[in-house]
Structure 1
Amino acid sequence: MKKRYAICGVSGRALGMFAKPILTTFTAGCELVGLLDRDEARFELFRTRYPEHTEVPTYGEHDFDRMVEETRPDVIIVAGRDDTHARYIIAALGKDLDVITEKPMVTTGEDARCVMEAEQASKGSVTVTFNYRYAPIHTKIKEMVLEGKLGRITSIDLNWYLDTYHGSSYFKRWNRVRELSGGLSIHKSTHHFDLVNWWIGQQPVEAFAYGALNYYGAEGEANPRKEDGRFCSTCELTQDCAYYSRWNARSQNIRVQDDHLGSLDAEKSKFPYSDYRPDQCIFDSQIDIEDTYTATVRYDGGALLSYSVNFSLPYEGYRLAINGTKGRLETTEYHMPGRTPFPTPVQTIDYFPLFGSKETIHVVHREGGHGGGDPLLLEDLFLGEDRSRPFRMLSGAVDGAYSVATGEAVWRSVKEHRPVPIEEVLGGGLRQPALSLSGKGGEGQ
């Protein structure tokens, strides 16, 4: 019997990451039975992209109960705007349904606590799609830690870089409003915090951080003119905007001056949604989040994380070092080599035993998004988790909660100029299964 899925939030991610594989690769065991969203135009986009599946029922944002009653799904996939996640996750758990949610699980520690409590009271469970765990390099790092090659983990250095193409994209969209995304220390860094938590098998206890808005917003040094309400596709200052000029040819900005109807049709084709534009000006004063962070996180097993992320750099990737009582590993990734203005090496892992010779470890790289992680994640989601692994890969509600809580602790520390305990963010008092270094003991490992 096929497992039945309904999607809440018909985003681009929902269409490409979830709807497409359900309707194609995994159709033998999966069925898409419902779509829910606030925007009718998103249903039209689904029908255009998958014309052979126009019969899939659609529902408005407040019709969750009716959708469940009429379509009888086994699993709810939550993939809409971040601030909508908690609403549908908790509603699904209240009906004893399983949930697959896009990261971040939610946008606040309070909502994370509510999800964990709802899951404890439900027959359903939550899976958070942390696809970075599935990148072969990241899986190999997990294996090395579990094998004891590093000994007891003492410190981690993780510096993440986003280039001017990817980094600026967050400031064109709804992500730039903290109320909707939780800020980038949650929306983006939740990926990174989850990786560290998973690699070392420890829970974060406290965070202290600094952060700033250095590149974007009205005070951005590259802002050609202080003026709100601009859109890249209609802005007259694009040739004076270094961010736009770097990634767009001049010919892309030619506009028909007199054919207003034609221009409107072109705009509708480029931006198919009713009230959402992903080309808002990155120098708008609406922006209320940071684009630069440095943070220190303390873990319950004694490890210390030194973390930084910058959303406006010449290239994209990260530098990682993990230190332990028996050795150290290092790796550097240059992501999106086609956007990097210099040759980039294939990513390897350098292992330095505390007393001995350096080893360089080559990993078989895979095709697919997020470092080859997406296809493997989808297999676990829709075929069942591969139990031959010595550790769990899929993430649960506890994993999602602690990654979100770390991100919130970071921006609260920036705002309040103090160390912020993770349990304070989560509300305290909720006892959860501990993360296990072996990867076999705790939920979500």
Structure 2
Amino acid sequence: MQKIVVCGLSNRALDMFIKPVQTKFSEENEIVGLLDSDQKRIELCQQVFPELAMIRTYRPEQFSQMVKETGATTVIVTSRDDTHVDYIIQGLEHDLDIISEKPMVTTCTDANRVMEAEKKSKGKVTVAFNYRYNPFHRKIKEMILDGKLGRITSIDLNWYIDTYHGASYFKRWNRMREYSGGLSVHKSTHHFDLVNWWIDQKPEQVFAYGALNYYGKDGELNPSPIDNRYCGTCSQRRECDYYTRWTNRTDSLAVKDDHIKSGGNQPYTNYRTDACIFDHEIEIEDTYVATVKYDLGALLSYSINFSLPYEGYRLAINGTKGRLETQEFHELSRVPFPVPEQTIDYFPLFGSKEIIHVVQSEGGHGGGDPIIQEDLFLGSDPYRRYDILAGAEAGAYSIAVGEGVWRSSIENKPMNIEDLLKGSRVKQ
């Protein structure tokens, strides 16, 4: 029986972790403690899950007390990104197992701290990279393992975030680098981890460019230079293309999205999810292009854009025996035009093209969420022929590439991944 304490009662905590524990995996897992800095989040969690109303609750400074009083064996970390490191380190010092939402931490310095702490602990760190579990992504891994592509030589990955989901990152705490590490860490670590895992190579060096093109005070669609606005009370929202694209005059439209709740703000303390996307304080990038070199010779060409008409990605992987291609239009992307079914197209170097229709499943992140939840709360599937759960090292390398992208874009030079992880002196 895992005795679980949850640190940070975010929407992701409730939907991705607490709900499946309570509804599917309660025979093997028990939530014994809740921790958050905001009492209102604790109250909301207990309203959603009345069966948790009587368990002990704690504030951040009471972590050790929580472990002692609850007899916890596992810590789920779903707090704001920059606070992950505090709970992970404390949990490892108590020899507990850690399940951390991605990104594991927000800086290479903290990633190195986690890896060093894990070496001294009886506990282990698992990073919930649920996008590995998407059925298309698992099929790609299996094709590579089967040698269909031969030795991997290059990857092209272009990621697209639409104007609803993309704008949401600039309405919340994610827009502050000190909290999120910037979007090359908060968001792109998903993608860097996928590539690292697919090709089973370690990133060595990254060179990148980044820019703030759409959001912030200089955004071309900013109705006015007024600062500190909120969508819910802004007198200029009818003049804002980002607002009117998704909201009618009576605010009766409900937009489907699994990252930010529609239909108003949750009653949290000193936190809103509708801050103006054109505020002066915004200085993180919303556009990146990057090249990553790997230790066994593969090269990644990557881009991401946070303000596009639709959401999804295009992927191509090249090897000495062939190439695969796939394109996804995201299920929640609100695309206003017909889209083709996603397939994987395989082109052997010599031979006929194959079109692979992947068996899909229900659930978030393309059906990946229910499967990772089984691995997290029942143990890894013993019949799967490859490792899929991510550990601390995988979390660290994804963060190193993300931080390298940002640092390279501001310093205009390549960044060595091992130097970043070892904490070499680089300009802030």
Question: TM-score interval w.r.t. the shorter chain?
Answer: over 0.9
SS across alignment from 2:208? strand
SS across alignment from 1:96? coil
| Cα-to-partner distance string for 1:180-215 (whole Å, 9 max, x where unaligned) | 000000000000000000000000000000000000
SS across alignment from 2:105? coil
Deviation for aligned residue 1:61: 1.2
Q: Is the 8 A contact 1:113 1:401 kept in 2?
A: yes
| Structure 1 residues 18-417: aligned runs within 5 Å | 18-252=17-251, 270-336=265-331, 339-417=334-412
| Cα-to-partner distance string for 1:301-350 (whole Å, 9 max, x where unaligned) | 10000000000000000000000000000000000366001101111000
1:51 alignment partner AA: P
State the percentage of identical aligned residues. Answer: 64
Deviation for aligned residue 1:131: 0.3
Deviation for aligned residue 1:253: 8.0
- 1:298, 1:173 → 2: CA distance? 33
Q: 1:428–1:154: structure 2 CA closer, same or farther, 3 Å change rule? A: farther
Q: 1:183–1:337: structure 2 CA closer, same or farther, 3 Å change rule? A: closer
1:103 alignment partner AA: K
Deviation for aligned residue 1:269: 7.6
Q: Is the 8 A contact 2:313 2:327 kept in 1?
A: yes
1:37 alignment partner AA: D
- 2:151, 2:264 → 1: CA distance? 55
| Cα-to-partner distance string for 1:147-198 (whole Å, 9 max, x where unaligned) | 1110000000000000001100000000000000000000000000000000
- 2:350, 2:46 → 1: CA distance? 61
Please give the TM-score of this superposition, normalised by the length of structure 1.
Answer: 0.92
- 1:287, 1:71 → 2: CA distance? 41
- 1:275, 1:54 → 2: CA distance? 24
1:148 alignment partner AA: G
2:259 matched residue in structure 1: none
Q: Is the 8 A contact 2:141 2:198 kept in 1?
A: yes
Superposition RMSD on alpha carbons, in Å? Answer: 1.4
Deviation for aligned residue 1:428: 6.2
Q: Is the 8 A contact 1:337 1:343 kept in 2?
A: no
- 1:64, 1:52 → 2: CA distance? 22
Q: Is the 8 A contact 1:233 1:253 kept in 2?
A: no
Q: Is the 8 A contact 2:407 2:415 kept in 1?
A: yes
- 2:417, 2:267 → 1: CA distance? 40
Does 2:8 match 1:9?
Answer: yes
| Cα-to-partner distance string for 1:370-398 (whole Å, 9 max, x where unaligned) | 11000000000001100211101100000
| Cα-to-partner distance string for 1:281-308 (whole Å, 9 max, x where unaligned) | 0000111200000000000010000000
SS across alignment from 1:250? coil
Deviation for aligned residue 1:111: 0.3
- 1:337, 1:185 → 2: CA distance? 21
Does 2:420 match 1:421?
Answer: no
Q: Is the 8 A contact 2:162 2:333 kept in 1?
A: no
SS across alignment from 2:250? helix
SS across alignment from 1:239? helix
Deviation for aligned residue 1:270: 3.3
Q: Is the 8 A contact 2:108 2:423 kept in 1?
A: no
Structure 2 residue runs of 5 or longer lacking an equivalent are 254-262
| Cα-to-partner distance string for 1:40-91 (whole Å, 9 max, x where unaligned) | 0001101111123201211011110110010111100000000000011011
Deviation for aligned residue 1:248: 0.7
SS across alignment from 1:415? helix
SS across alignment from 1:63? helix
- 2:231, 2:266 → 1: CA distance? 12
SS across alignment from 2:346? strand
1:209 alignment partner AA: A
Q: Is the 8 A contact 2:312 2:333 kept in 1?
A: no
| Cα-to-partner distance string for 1:218-242 (whole Å, 9 max, x where unaligned) | 0000100111110000001111000
- 2:387, 2:399 → 1: CA distance? 20
> Structure 1 residues 330-339 or 124-133, which shifts more?
330-339
| Structure 1 residues 426-445: aligned runs within 5 Å | 426-427=421-422
1:435 matched residue in structure 2: none
Q: Is the 8 A contact 2:162 2:311 kept in 1?
A: yes
Please give the TM-score of this superposition, normalised by the length of structure 2.
Answer: 0.95
